[in-house]
Amino acid sequence: MAIMDKILQFSDAQVISNGSGSAAVAGTDVFDMSTMKNAWGTAITNDIGEGNNGLVFNWQVATAVEASVIMICKAYSHTTSAIASGTLLGSVTFPAASVAGTKRSLRVPSGTVNRWVGVTYSNTVDDAATGAYDAWLGLDTETPTK
């Protein structure tokens, strides 16, 4: 399997501004993991969460979040690039007033992960006017690179 992308980033200091109850904001990038075949040419399911510790969805606050804003970050996989209507793989929550450098991780579950993988951001508490996030796929010990 080959994942082709610049540095496995979903967001690079992406500014998220959305209001309570508004639609989730998608990350600026999604991954197309293409299709996989076994040694006999039979199509098989992607399983990027398998083996050792597997891969991890990582989110990090790039610019401090407003005092009243709680941000919910979700990871999805889908058979098309419209990831937000796909299968939810899990979510993490950043508390109000998260400072730059605050990090959350979500281990990719083993099992079926569809061809397209991406993240979304939503806020269920208050209007978000500032706050930027990094998101990437990698190891839980990694920090984003520019």
Taking 90 as the threshold, does the pLDDT of residue 91 lie above it? yes
Which of the pair, 62 or 130, is modelled with greater confidence?
62
The tens digit of pLDDT for each residue in 92-125 reads 999 888 888 899 998 888 777 788 889 999 887 7
This prediction has a pTM of 0.81
> Quick check: helix, strand or coil at residue 59?
strand
Q: How confident is the model at residue 137 (pLDDT cuts 50, 70, 90)?
A: confident
Per-domain boundaries in the chain: 9-138
* 135: alpha, beta or left? (left if phi > 0; alpha if psi -120 to 50): beta
User: How many Å apart are CA 52 and CA 107, to the nearest integer?
Assistant: 12
The tens digit of pLDDT for each residue in 34-80 reads 777 778 888 776 667 665 666 888 999 998 887 788 889 999 988 88
Q: Which of 58, 56, 49 is nearest to 110 (CA)?
A: 49
* Residues 139, 104 contacting (CB under 8 angstroms): no
Q: Which of 107, 137, 116 is nearest to 10 (CA)?
A: 137
Matching CATH number, 9-138, of 2.30.29.30, 3.40.50.300, 1.10.3720.10, 2.60.120.1110:
2.60.120.1110
